[in-house]
Amino acid sequence: MNEIIKAFKKNKLAALSLVFILIVIIAAVFAPYIAPYNPDKIDVNAILQPPGPAHLLGTDQLGRDVLSRLVYGSRISIEVGFIAVSISLLIGIPVGAYAGYYSGLLDSILMRFVDIMLTFPSFFLILAISAILKPSIINIMAIIGLTSWMGISRIIRAEFIQNREKDYVLAAKAAGASDSYIMFVEILPNVVAPILVSATLGIAAAILIQASLAFLGIGIMPPTASWGGMLSRGKTYIMVAWWLTLFPGIAILFTVLSFNLIGEAVRNALDPRYKK
């Protein structure tokens, strides 16, 4: 933890990214108290109003407040990012751990399955499944999580291969510890660095995928506010209402970029290969 704190103190851009993400998370959690208006309230007297005192970021084609919809849209992005990555970690960590610890036939079977999954273009696989299943945020989170665990499994496998013959593992074996105890109590805490980095970058990827699906009209259905959906519906009015695409686009860009910068800072702090 001290190494991470030092890394953020040195990397001002990463520190600003962390502050931005904290603001987004706070907005997501306290959206009903922060949003100035009901995000779904239609006001025919305020259609396509530009940013001003009454509506700081303007209104959309139905007179809904853009700022309020951005605040509520952050809920979708944060939920999808964290839950989808949690699902991918719950699958990827055990697969990589068993493959790396036992090697041999089990390793070959698990890694061949990973290779098969990697042959499918992830986004198009997600797109196809999303089009088949009933549109809902739960389905989107599950689909992204179930199709994005392969990378972390390969990382964990490599880490377990490097650690399984180290002294602390051999000592645990000599003491009669079970394989499950050695894998998840002894080895796993020592490979937390790549897990943190992968998780942080995975959140950024999940948010971007969800926004892309919403932009294509798949997943989050109106009137639920989502950044990708706002961007999609705003493109029709881009010549007369620039704010409908600018602000959701900035929200997506800064959120994804911030998670990537945080992941890079954590990697630099915990991975000896990147320390100067």
Instruction: Please tell me the predicted confidence (pLDDT) of residue 109.
Output: 92
Q: What is the dihedral of CA 142, 144, 145, 149, to 10 degrees?
A: 150
Q: Which band of pLDDT confidence, cut at 50, 70 and 90, is reported for residue 219? A: confident
Joined together, the tokens standing for residue 62 give: 């139905």
Q: Which amino acid is at 257?
A: L
Instruction: Please tell me the predicted confidence (pLDDT) of residue 117.
Output: 86
Percent of the chain with pLDDT over 70: 97
pTM for the whole thing?
0.89
Look at residue 212 and tell me whether its pLDDT is greater than 90: no
- The set of long-range contacts for 103-106, using a CB threshold of 8 Å and a minimum separation of 24, is 103/161
Say if CB 87 and CB 141 are below 8 A apart.
yes
Instruction: Give me the count of residues in the chain.
Output: 276
Look at residue 120 and tell me whether its pLDDT is greater than 80: no
84-110 mean pLDDT:
92
- Quick one: which of 87, 93, 91 has its CA closest to 139? 87
**Peptide bond just before 223 cis, omega within 30 deg:** yes
Lowest-pLDDT choice from 9-13, 133-137, 165-169, 200-204: 133-137
Say if CB 210 and CB 123 are below 8 A apart.
no
242-250 mean pLDDT:
93
Q: Which band of pLDDT confidence, cut at 50, 70 and 90, is reported for residue 83? A: very high
Look at residue 34 and tell me whether its pLDDT is greater than 90: yes
For Cα atoms 210, 215, 218, give the angle at the middle one, nearest 5 degrees.
70
Instruction: Please tell me the predicted confidence (pLDDT) of residue 97.
Output: 93
- Quick one: which of 123, 120, 72, 84 has its CA closest to 206? 84
Instruction: Please tell me the predicted confidence (pLDDT) of residue 272.
Output: 56
Q: Which band of pLDDT confidence, cut at 50, 70 and 90, is reported for residue 192? A: confident
- Cα dihedral sign, 191-192-196-197: negative
Domain boundaries, the chain: 2-274
Look at residue 259 and tell me whether its pLDDT is greater than 80: yes
Instruction: Please tell me the predicted confidence (pLDDT) of residue 128.
Output: 77
**Region 2-274: CATH code:** 1.10.3720.10
Instruction: Please tell me the predicted confidence (pLDDT) of residue 222.
Output: 77
Instruction: Please tell me the predicted confidence (pLDDT) of residue 271.
Output: 65
